[in-house]
Amino acid sequence: MTDSHGIVVAVDGSPSSDAAVDWAARDAALRHVPLTIVHVQPADEVGPWLDFPVALPQEYLAERDRRSQEIVDDALGVVVDTVSESREFPVHTKVLTGAKMPALIEVSTEADMIVLGRRGVGGLRGLLLGSTSSTLVHHAHCPVAVIHANRPDGGLSATAPVVVGVDGSPASESATAIAFDEASRRGVDLTAVHTWMNIADFPFDVPTDELATQADEELAQRLAGWCERYPDVTVHRVVGQDNPAHRLIEESQTGQLLVVGSHGRGGFAGLLLGSVGSAVVHAARIPVIVARRP
């Protein structure tokens, strides 16, 4: 293996995990990068509430290892079914032992992107985002893709656009870069969404048409360099007076992928996932990439 794991997909045998493998395999094929399937199994010992670790029975460890291999093999089967006709990328597997979150966060330091299901094994019904996906979108060292197991309308249209939120922040610029690349590789249009605050928040009267013109000009400037770099991508600018999360979720209903920054303009430097990003990850029914920066 190279230093980079390419696209990493975390698997646990759940339906959300299978959906994540399917999406990750397609994305790795589009990018021509390796796909690394990672499963984290429990440690060999229990603690730390004891003064000393206690080894688990060999029968348990053998069953744990068997189940881990079964989960990885099933994930490989999904990859074969997904890209059986054009498997032009290497596929690796890793079974790690220990605490799940530290292990996956460590793997993310050498990944182009980490992909996982919206809710894994043991997820509570009604809980929109599982503990693993929630932790990674806050702490991973690379972009994180969260995949919904139950896709609307039986699937996603291959011609549907990629949707991206643009607000001028550094995180938004990273999201724009990912969105253009994904749209170009898929051969689809890009919908760039930019909203402004409610005019009631202004301490003085501002004509709505002036705000709309200014917002559209700002969005066009933000996209100009990317449009030159990706002349094959047709861009549709969506500008309006609206809550950004609401408008992004609305636009995502006709898209195949939604890309947002980890935190936007006005977000605190230490806020790892802003309110807009958190809202769309929870509410969107299509794959969402949170453009986390290293």
Q: Above pLDDT 90, what percent of the chain?
A: 48
Question: What span, in angstroms and rounded, lies between the C-alpha atoms of 58 and 93?
Answer: 24
Q: What is the domain-level CATH number for residue 242? A: 3.40.50.12370
200-236: b (≥16 Cβ within 10 Å) or e:
eeeeeeeeeeebeeebeebbeebbeebeeebeebebe
Whether 117 and 136 share a structural domain:
yes
Residues 199-232 pLDDT 10s = 555 555 556 677 778 888 889 999 999 999 999 9
Whether 193 and 80 share a structural domain:
no
| Residue 243, pLDDT above cutoff 50 | yes
Asked, as a colleague might, if the bond just before 48 is cis with ω within 30 of 0, I would say yes
- Of 87, 120, 150, which marks where a domain is finished? 150
Phi-psi sector, 32: left (phi>0), alpha (psi -120 to 50), beta: left
Does residue 2 sit within a domain? no
| Residue 155, pLDDT above cutoff 60 | no
pLDDT score for 75: 96
Does residue 165 sit within a domain? yes
pLDDT score for 280: 85
Domains identified in the chain, total number = 2
Give the residue numbers spanning the domain of 162: 153-291
Question: What span, in angstroms and rounded, lies between the C-alpha atoms of 172 and 222?
Answer: 10
29-66: b (≥16 Cβ within 10 Å) or e:
bbbebbbbbbbbbeeeeeeeeeeeeeeeeeeeeeebee
**Mean pLDDT for the stretch of residues 111-119:** 90
Whether 136 and 170 share a structural domain:
no
Closest by CA to 114, choosing from 89, 146, 83, is 146
Whether 12 and 141 share a structural domain:
yes
pLDDT score for 269: 34
- Of 117, 150, 183, which marks where a domain is finished? 150
Whether 106 and 194 share a structural domain:
no
pLDDT score for 270: 33
3-state secondary structure (DSSP) of residue 108 = helix
**Mean pLDDT for the stretch of residues 242-266:** 83
- Of 121, 150, 179, which marks where a domain is finished? 150
Does residue 1 sit within a domain? no
CA geometry: angle at 111 spanning 105 and 112, to 5°? 130
| Residue 288, pLDDT above cutoff 60 | yes
